[in-house]
Amino acid sequence: MGESTVVALSSPPGRSGIAVVRMSGPEAAKILGRLAPHAGGWKSHQLQKVLIREISGDPLDEVMAVLMEAPGSYTGEDVAEIYCHGSMRLADNIIEEAIKAGAEMAPPGEFTRRAFLNGKIDMAQAEAVADLICSETRLQSRVALEHLRGGLSRRVKEIEKRLLRQLVLVEGSIDFSQEEGLGEFSREKLHSEAEGVISDLDKLIRTNIPGNKLRDGIRVTLAGPRNAGKSSIYNALLGEERAIVSHIPGTTRDLLRERIHIRGLTYYLEDTAGIAETGCEIERRGIDVGREAARAADLLLFVLDGSLPLSEEDIEMAGRIEHELCIILLNKSDLGLKTDREKAGNLLGARQMLEVSAVTGAGLERLRELIYDSTTTKGLTDIYRERIAVNSRQCNALKRARGAMESALEDISAGKPAEILSVWLREAASACGEITGRSVEQDILEEIFSSFCIGK
């Protein structure tokens, strides 16, 4: 394709057992030969132990290296990879020498961009590469791998084929309506096919919101009165002390956030300042931030001191928070329950109430189950089964395709001419093509690949 030869570090920066330097482009074999001038003949996809030298001839490192000739490589170009000792200085030196020998530094996502442009993967698979690299749980990696192996692409391409088949019939009736054997297409069949396409599009569109939760995580916020034990529960769920715990009211003033994983899902657990009337400006600001976090959370855990009777102040403070999905936690169960369960259960329209003890750990495993059950929708259950979850870009394209097919349905019923129907079919097919990259615009390509890490 006339591309330059690029080089980058493809392993994480920092000290490690090995580091990987990758090159791709028409000069990759030549540059590798200059860096390892005394190596034997290079055979594609065969590792060699070689001495890497500076262009001046001074030795740099003893490494394993491999040449993967086009088109049988990740990018579809000649690719050379050098596995050196895991010193950042060594890896940087090798990259510097490769640049002296004619390579250019690769921008983020350049190797995957070339794989896409050379037809080795489509756009949905390219995005799956980034998802796989960023995955933190087994479910995230399984969904990303299914996309990388073409699971999403196959479903979208099947919809696209159905659209194109109908487009051929519709446009054929326009161009060859006078030919023997060719006449008006079947509006009934087109109507039925359009409904089927919309149904298939809806199935994919419905995976977007739960898919975003899978990729981006689910916000769970702890809120409640002072000294109820929010920070203790926060630390207990994390399994380590991240929030300062004290009997002094108002200890927590900032919003604290950490990740936890439950059954393949990532949760962002947030600890907030205790809700109370205060004359301290800093503490009041912390309380306001906590309320904002509680309103924005996917799930609210409202913590009460279960060892004390429910006070009017507790009820008033709870009334200042609005949330559709809430679990009431009666903490300090090890001290004996004195909170009226019926009154507590009426707070915030809570669907669940649970007695826990951050000190003994009682109820915490059940709490993890409730967090998962409360935030797992049918959409997430479907993702577990089918391992398909479209991202926001893909969802927008699918929605445009659906809108075009809705317009097609209306115009079929209204008896509009074939010329108009063909416009909707083309628009829907083009929108589907954006998902695999068949009809994606250059600026979208640049935006997608710029979000990749360097070296991938």
Check residue 245 and give its pLDDT: 44
The span from the CA of 329 to the CA of 371, in Å, is 12
How would you classify the pairing of strands 104-105 and 6-9?
A: parallel
The span from the CA of 56 to the CA of 202, in Å, is 61
Q: Which of 287, 231, 294, 285 is nearest to 258 (CA)?
A: 231
Check residue 181 and give its pLDDT: 47
Report CA dihedral (299, 305, 311, 316) to the nearest 10 degrees: -20
Which CATH number does 6-121 carry?
Answer: 3.30.1360.120
Structure tokens at 166: 């109908």
Written as one letter, the residue type at 358 is: A
The series of mean pLDDT values per 10 residues for the chain, 456 residues long, is: 84 92 96 90 93 94 96 96 95 96 95 94 94 90 94 96 91 64 73 95 93 89 87 87 46 71 90 61 56 81 91 78 83 91 80 90 94 83 87 96 96 92 94 88 77 83
- Residue 15, CA distances (Å) to 19, 90, 92, 269 in order: 8, 10, 12, 31
> 343 with 171: CB under 8 angstroms?
no
CATH superfamily label, 218-377? P-loop containing nucleotide triphosphate hydrolases (3.40.50.300)
> For the chain, what are the domain ranges?
6-121, 127-207+388-437, 218-377
Check residue 375 and give its pLDDT: 87
Check residue 455 and give its pLDDT: 82
Check residue 387 and give its pLDDT: 92
Continuous H helices in 239-272: none
Which CATH number does 127-207+388-437 carry?
Answer: 1.20.120.430
